[in-house]
Amino acid sequence: MQNIAIIIFVAWLSLTLAQDNNATQTEADSDTLDGRIVGGWDTKIAHFPHQISLQLNKKHICGGVIVAPHLILTAAHCVLKHTQPELYAIRAGSSFWESGGSYVRIKRIIPHEHFNLPTHMNNDIALLLLQRPLVYSRDIQAIQLVHPTDYVAPHAQLFVSGWGSTNAQQITTATRLHYTALVELDHPSCTHNYVGSGVVTATMFCAGSRTGLGDRDSCLGDSGGPLVTNVEGHFKLLGIVSWGLGCASAQYPGVYTQVSAYGDWLTHLSQSLF
């Protein structure tokens, strides 16, 4: 079943890059289960000003999150060509990944040093250093990470956003930013469901529809994007879209990187870059 998810990701990414004759190699060369907005709604970037579109050869491939004027968080599996940062850029401050806002190229890419260790898709997080800082505005804002001491209620409403596929049966990129509302799901149950298809580690968590019907989910193209929740009146970053089996499946909900587990890693990296 893991191979099915890989084939879907390969087909989708190949389609998004098909018009670029200069693309000699694609992210589809990776052996990954891709993070995957189904059951959601159109929105404006002003509601999610921390969201960016990560682009490879000028095509949207993943989401990302502004954490500082120079720094973006995304999923490590989104930047497999991390030794070639000149191929990547981000678009911030626009509801549309193709136009508007600020288009900035990447200077350096630092995936987690233990990505895919000790299990596949573990430590799926990467930090991007921009060539120039973003200028904050109504539509461009950094977001704080959920701290381990922050209280997040067991069934708190979570919001995931992105330009990924809006239909579990299609492998297209949405033109306009979408979002949907989810809740965190029981970790032991989710871990059990994925036995044989992937390992849900302690630094991951699952999120899906409150109804349990699998009618809401992130989807192909949303990987690396933000999952946020309200902490004492402010949105904070709880997770990064990482992987899953298919989209909008009750049995296989979306799996997210737990960003609070990487606070020390991010602080150390941020200090070493400047």
Active site residues: 77, 124, 223
In 3D, which of 195, 197, 187, 246 has the Cα closest to residue 220?
Answer: 246
Instruction: Return the structure tokens found at 44.
Output: 């404006």
Instruction: Return the structure tokens found at 171.
Output: 């492998």
The Cα–Cα gap between 192 and 179 comes to 28
The Cα–Cα gap between 255 and 182 comes to 12
- In sequence order, what are the residues at sequence separation of 6 or more whose Cβ sits closer than 8 angstroms to the Cβ of residue 177? 42, 43, 44, 45, 48, 51, 95, 96, 97, 161, 162, 163
The neighbouring-strand residues paired with 226 are 240
Tallying the residues shown for the chain, one arrives at 274
